[in-house]
């Protein structure tokens, strides 16, 4: 594992963006796995700036997002499709054909999950998967208890996750109860992983994930078994990690 601790979340965002830029410059048609949430916003802004300044060309990449809410119209401002369009696809000039995200409005979420997983396999797998971490250790929407062999599937969100994400909605009631997420096995098959964490509220769960036992109680702990994992944390999130 390569652990990079930065002084600030802004610096962490720059370092994360540079890692993505380096990988895409080395392989312009890279397959990128991407997260939502507050954590990657700085990285996305830095990538958009790099595109504008022609330090990277994203026109040949293909992206697969980790997850999407079920039962939220895709046009909702907090659907992950809208989030990605606003924060990454549009600012970076990505065409719709380059981007993939599970269809949260699919009539059969399990069939959609299977088709999504098959699409990732069909393209040859993900080169670089970027991840955030939830306060309970979730990656994507793989909540505690998810087995490591889970592939893309539909899930019931925990109360803690819904509460954490309620800040993006008018009320807790508006937060969807279900989602489709890449599974832990799908995530671990990526050839490289980049885990991002910012803020003191992530310090305990990040340390437990990286230094504690590998257990379904903390889904991010399964990342310990990946041969090519980079962790980029700001000083607050990295504070509890003893080397
Ligand atoms: C969300 C997403 C995850 C994300 C996590 C942390 O619910 N499904 O992919 O990594 O929770 O979010 P944040 O970065 O806002 O703390």
pLDDT tens digits for range 97-111: 999 999 999 999 999
Residues tagged active-site = 67, 136, 138, 143
Mean pLDDT of 148-157: 97
Query: Hey, what's the torsion of the CAs at 83, 84, 89, 95, to 10 degrees?
Result: -110
Mean pLDDT of 205-223: 98
- 97: Cβ contacts below 8 Å, ≥ 6 apart: none
The rounded Å distance from CA 213 to ligand 1 centre is 22
Q: What is the predicted pLDDT for the residue at 242? A: 82
Q: What is the predicted pLDDT for the residue at 174? A: 95
Mean pLDDT of 202-218: 98
Average confidence score pLDDT of the chain: 97
pLDDT at 243 exceeding the cut of 80: no
Secondary structure letter of residue 142 according to DSSP = B
Give the DSSP per-residue string, 36-94.
-SSTTHHHHHHHHHHHHTTS---TT-EEEESEEESSS-TTSTTSHHHHHIIIIIHHHT-
CA–CA gap between residue 184 and residue 181 (Å, rounded) = 9
Pocket test for ligand 1, best of 68, 134, 197, 202 (most atoms within 8 A of CB): 134
Kindly indicate the confidence band of residue 7, based on its pLDDT and cuts at 50, 70 and 90: very high
pLDDT at 147 exceeding the cut of 80: yes
pLDDT digits (tens, 9 = 90+) for 153-196: 999 999 999 999 999 999 999 999 999 999 999 999 999 999 99
- Write out the two tokens for 39: 């954590």
Nearest CA owner, ligand 1 atom 9: 140
Q: Does residue 63's CB lie within 6 angstroms of at least one atom of ligand 1?
A: no
The rounded Å distance from CA 165 to ligand 1 centre is 8
Nearest CA owner, ligand 1 atom 6: 134
- 147: Cβ contacts below 8 Å, ≥ 6 apart: 184, 216
pLDDT at 73 exceeding the cut of 80: yes
Q: Which atom of ligand 1 is nearest to the CA of 133?
A: 10
pLDDT digits (tens, 9 = 90+) for 33-55: 999 999 999 999 999 999 999 99
């Amino acid at each position: 594992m390569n652990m990079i601790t930065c002084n600030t979340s802004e610096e962490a965002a720059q370092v994360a963006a540079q890692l993505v830029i380096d990988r895409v410059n080395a392989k312009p048609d890279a397959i990128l796995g991407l997260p939502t949430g507050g954590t990657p916003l700085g990285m996305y802004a830095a990538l958009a700036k790099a595109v504008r300044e022609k330090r990277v060309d994203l026109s040949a990449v293909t992206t697969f997002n980790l997850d999407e809410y079920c039962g939220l119209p895709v046009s909702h401002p907090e659907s992950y499709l809208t989030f990605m369009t606003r924060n990454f696809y549009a600012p970076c000039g990505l065409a719709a054909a380059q981007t993939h995200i599970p269809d949260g409005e699919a009539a059969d979420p399990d069939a959609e999950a299977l088709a999504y997983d098959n699409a990732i396999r069909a393209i040859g797998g993900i080169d670089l998967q970027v991840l955030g971490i939830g306060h309970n250790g979730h990656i994507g929407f793989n909540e505690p208890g998810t087995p490591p062999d889970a592939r893309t599937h539909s899930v019931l969100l925990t109360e803690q996750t819904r509460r954490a994400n309620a800040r993006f909605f008018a009320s807790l009631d508006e937060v969807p109860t279900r989602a489709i997420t890449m599974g832990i096995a799908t995530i671990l098959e990526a050839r490289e992983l980049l885990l991002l964490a910012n803020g003191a509220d992530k310090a305990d769960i990040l340390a437990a994930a990286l230094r504690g036992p590998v257990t379904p109680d903390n889904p991010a702990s399964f990342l310990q078994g990946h041969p090519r994992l980079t962790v980029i944390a700001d000083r607050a999130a990295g504070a509890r990690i003893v080397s």
